[in-house]
Amino acid sequence: MAFAEVSKTCCVITGASRGFGRATAFALAHAFAESGCNSHFILLSRDEKKLQETRNGIMELDSYAKVHTVVADLGEMKTLEETVNNAFSKVEPNQVSHAILLNNAGSIGDISNRIKDMTNIRAESLQDYFNLNISSPMFLISKFLKRFEGSSCTVINVSSLMAVESFSHFSLYCTGKAARDMMCQVLAKEEVWFVIVLIFPSFVHC
Ligand SMILES: NC(=O)c1ccc[n+]([C@@H]2O[C@H](COP(=O)([O-])OP(=O)(O)OC[C@H]3O[C@@H](n4cnc5c(N)ncnc54)[C@H](OP(=O)(O)O)[C@@H]3O)[C@@H](O)[C@H]2O)c1
């Protein structure tokens, strides 16, 4: 992706405290520094210390980057709207020519049970799983597109092989990833003017 012609880019990254989210933040910071692009980062996760580490890493790569951190549980529906409003308030949209949302935060969920044995678990834990892995990214996309409607927008969904191939015991993960893929396919039909990217990382340990 070329950034040279972009005056200001805002990257919203969920799950930026470690793993793929942090690695992508560093890769983007490197690309922005190389191209001389002004960048804003909004990083979200529940771990303040690790978010600060990601922030420091970005600043080392791109000393001009403006990096905002938001500590929040994205699976908590009661506070999700407040969390998202708080996150997006960090950057004035009229300063942004290109906005990128990396919907990366996610969890594998309980893989100790086959579906028929799920009577062992609390029914609420199913809802908790889908809150974090489906409802929250959908809500975030919606708020993101409204907030940055005057900018060129890119939504990136971190998908998986398990979105398209079934694996025993991974019913939560496979279902969540397949739903997120379909969410993006619907978006692509609805919003032809922005870019949606699905990433299928192979097994990574960052
Ligand atoms: N690793 C792989 O091999 C692989 C393969 C295919 C797809 N993927 C996908 O790639 C994405 C990242 O995977 P990863 O391996 O980098 O995972 P990871 O190391 O476990 O990181 C997950 C990230 O999500 C955040 N997160 C989890 N629950 C959260 C919550 N309730 N609220 C806010 N943030 C939350 C974590 O932040 P905190 O814990 O700090 O809150 C962390 O930053 C996931 O969507 C995963 O499904 C990974």
Nearest atom (ligand 1) to Cα of 103:
45
| Measured distance CA(53)–CA(158) in Å, rounded | 22
Q: Check pLDDT > 70 for residue 83.
A: yes
Mean pLDDT (the chain) is 92
Q: Which residues contact 175 (CB under 8 A, 6 or more apart)?
A: none
Q: Identity (one letter) of the amino acid at 48?
A: E
Q: Give residue 121's pLDDT band: very low, low, confident or very high (50, 70, 90).
A: confident
Q: Whose CA is nearest to atom 47 of ligand 1?
A: 106
List, for residues 166-198, the tens digit of each pLDDT value: 999 999 999 999 999 999 999 989 986 667 777
Distance 108 CA to ligand 1 centre (A): 8
* pTM summary value: 0.94
**Residues contacting ligand 1 via CB (< 6 Å):** 15, 17-21, 45-47, 50, 73-75, 104-107, 132, 158, 160, 201, 203-204
Distance 104 CA to ligand 1 centre (A): 6
Nearest atom (ligand 1) to Cα of 202:
5
- Please, are residues 37 and 64 in contact by the beta-carbon 8 Å criterion? no
